[in-house]
Structure 1
C-alpha cells in the first residue's frame, strides 16, 4: 500500500516507521509549507497535521479520490463540510479523535458506565486530560469525544473548561505537562466514594498503529466511517 503522510512532525515520523514495518511505502511526506505533489500516487492518505491545515489536506484527498484518515483535532467546526464533500465525491473518509485501539475500547467503557450512572443522582461526573505542552488544542479531541459519550447517555447537556460548572455541565480539567503522550480520566464522585476509569498512553505508537490499521481497512471502501467501523464495535 502506498501512503501519503499529511503532516510530518513527531506523529508523522512514528506513523512512517510503523507503516514501513507493516510492508507499506511512503510516497509523500507533506509538511505545512509543502505542496501536494505526489498525492495522486497514493492509495491512501493519513493526516496528522495541525488544525489550520486539516481541512485543506482532507479536501485535497477527497478532490483527488484518495481515501483519507484524519487524526488531527481542533478543526471539527468544519467536520460536516468534509462529510458532505466526501459524499458528493463518493469518497472515503475516517476521522478519529484518537486512533489508539485501547482508547477506542475506553470509549465503549465510558458509554457503558455513563448509562449505568445516569439515574444515580448522588454522583457528579468530571474529567481530567493531560497532554504534552506541544498540543495546540484544549480540551483534547479525545476528551471531547468522551464528554459526548457521557452526554448521549445521561442528563448532562454540555462540557466546560470553567471550574464553576453548571448543574448539567461536565467540567474538564485540561493540563499540559512535558512529555505526556495522553492521559484521560473520568470521575464519578459522591459524598461517600469515587468511581474512576482511566486510560494512560505510554507513547505515540498506539495512536500511529491504529491510524495505519484504519488506513489499511479503508482502502477499497466508500463512505464516512469511524474507528467503531474499523474495530467492528458497532
Structure 2
C-alpha cells in the first residue's frame, strides 16, 4: 500500500516506522517545511493519506486529499467544529474518510467500556462523575480530543450532566475534566464515579505512541478502496 504521511512530527514518524515494517511504502512525507508538496499530482499517487497535523491546517489538508481522490485517515484534534462539513463534503465527492480522536485499539475498546458504565450509572444519582487526562507538555489542546469523546459519551447517557468544563467544578450539572501536562506521559485518561460510600474508576494508560500509530495504520489498511464516512468502531467491528 502506498501511503502519504501528512504531518511528520513524532506521531508521523511513529506511523512511518510501523507502516514500513509492515511492508507499506511511504511515498510522501509532508512536514512544516514541505507544504508545497501537498498538491494533487503528489497526493494522487497514494492509496491512502494519514493526516496528523495542526488544528489550523487539518481542514484544508483533508479537502486536498478529497480533491486528489485519496482516502484520508485523520487524527488531528482541535478543529472539530468543521467536522460535519468535512463529512458532508466526503459524501458529496464520493470520497473516503475516517476521523478519530484516538486510533489506539485499546482506547477504542475503552470508549465502549465508558459508554456501558455511563449507561449503568445513569440511574444512580448518588454518584458524581469527573474525568482526568494527563499528556506530555507539547500537547497543543486541552482537554484532549480523547477526553472530549469520553465526556460526550457520558453526557449522552447521564442526563443529570448537561455539559463539561475544563476545571474543577461544584456545579451538579457540570462534568469536570481536569487536564494535566506532565512529561513524558503519552496519555492517561480516567473516568471516576464517586459516592459517599465508594468510588468506581476506569483508566486507560498509554505506554508509548506506538498504540496510536499502529491503530492509524490499521485504519488506513481498512479504508483503502472504500467510499464513505467511517469510524474506528467500523474498523474494529465494535458496532
* TM-score between the two structures when normalised by the length of structure 2: 0.96
Distance in structure 1 (CA, Å) of the matches to 2:108 and 2:200: 20
**Secondary structure at 1:18's aligned position in 2?**
helix
- 2:153 — aligned with what? 149
1:111 aligns with 2:115: yes
1:165 Cα deviation after fit: 4.6
- 1:62 — aligned with what? 66
- Please say if residues 3 and 42 of structure 1, whose CA atoms lie closer than 8 Å, have aligned partners that are also in contact: yes
**Secondary structure at 2:119's aligned position in 1?**
helix
Distance in structure 1 (CA, Å) of the matches to 2:30 and 2:51: 9
1:200 aligns with 2:205: yes
> Among residues 172, 175, 178, which one is paired with 1:173 in the alignment?
178
Distance in structure 2 (CA, Å) of the matches to 1:133 and 1:162: 18
Unmatched runs of 5 consecutive residues or more in structure 2: none
1:49 Cα deviation after fit: 0.8
Distance in structure 2 (CA, Å) of the matches to 1:8 and 1:73: 16
Give the alignment of 1:216-227 within 5 angstroms: 216-227=221-232
- 1:137 — aligned with what? 141
1:166 Cα deviation after fit: 2.4
Q: Deviations over 1:114-136 (max 9, x none)?
A: 00010101100000000000010
- 1:41 — aligned with what? 45
- 2:9 — aligned with what? 9
1:164 Cα deviation after fit: 2.2
1:174 Cα deviation after fit: 0.4
- 1:210 — aligned with what? 215
Distance in structure 1 (CA, Å) of the matches to 2:96 and 2:102: 18
- Please say if residues 32 and 53 of structure 1, whose CA atoms lie closer than 8 Å, have aligned partners that are also in contact: no
Distance in structure 2 (CA, Å) of the matches to 1:134 and 1:186: 23
Segments of 4+ moved more than 6 angstroms: none
- 1:95 — aligned with what? 99
Q: Deviations over 1:42-73 (max 9, x none)?
A: 00000011111111111100111100000111
> Among residues 163, 167, 183, which one is paired with 2:188 in the alignment?
183
**Secondary structure at 1:51's aligned position in 2?**
coil
Distance in structure 2 (CA, Å) of the matches to 1:136 and 1:51: 9
* TM-score between the two structures when normalised by the length of structure 1: 0.98
> Among residues 84, 87, 93, which one is paired with 2:88 in the alignment?
84
Count of residues paired in the alignment:
234
- 1:230 — aligned with what? 235
Distance in structure 2 (CA, Å) of the matches to 1:166 and 1:5: 43
Distance in structure 2 (CA, Å) of the matches to 1:194 and 1:173: 17
